[in-house]
């Protein structure tokens, strides 16, 4: 089943992220090229994209899967590239926790 943006209920977007957790390895990777304030702003910008339903660099099947999960309450994955670093953001199905991590942290 394909879901179009106009079919998404407003309460789903923006998403609730729950508690946000950033892995130490991701923080250290991003912070190696910037100060802590800049790193925090970069992560916050990615979280905002994810919260709005911009899933980043996913193939069309994964985008469709996320769109369904946003409506049905499933787990969500976004993939972004931030200053040359691939970043994953995963929100659990119950929306209690969102984790920002490197793919190798998974």
pLDDT given for residue 14 in this prediction: 75
- For the residues 77-93, what does the mean pLDDT come to? 97
Enter the pTM of the model. Answer: 0.87
Q: Would strands 76-82 and 19-22 be described as parallel, antiparallel, or unpaired?
A: unpaired
CA–CA distances in Å: residue 80 to residues 3, 8, 18: 22, 22, 20
Q: Which of 39, 86, 85 has its CA nearest to residue 58?
A: 86
| Helix 36-51 and helix 24-31, axial crossing angle in degrees, nearest 10 | 120
- For the residues 69-78, what does the mean pLDDT come to? 93
**Neighbouring C-alpha atoms within 13 Å toward the C-beta of 93:** 7
């Amino acid at each position: 089943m394909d879901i179009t943006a106009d079919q998404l209920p407003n309460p789903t977007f923006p998403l609730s992220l729950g508690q946000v957790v950033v892995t130490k390895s991701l923080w250290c990777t991003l912070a190696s090229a910037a100060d802590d304030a800049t790193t925090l702003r970069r992560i916050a910008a990615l979280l905002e994209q994810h919260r709005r339903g911009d899933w980043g660099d996913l193939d069309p099947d994964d985008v469709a899967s996320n769109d369904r999960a946003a409506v049905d309450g499933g787990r969500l994955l976004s993939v972004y590239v931030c200053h040359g670093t691939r970043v994953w953001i995963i929100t659990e199905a119950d929306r209690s926790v969102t984790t920002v991590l490197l793919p190798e942290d998974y």
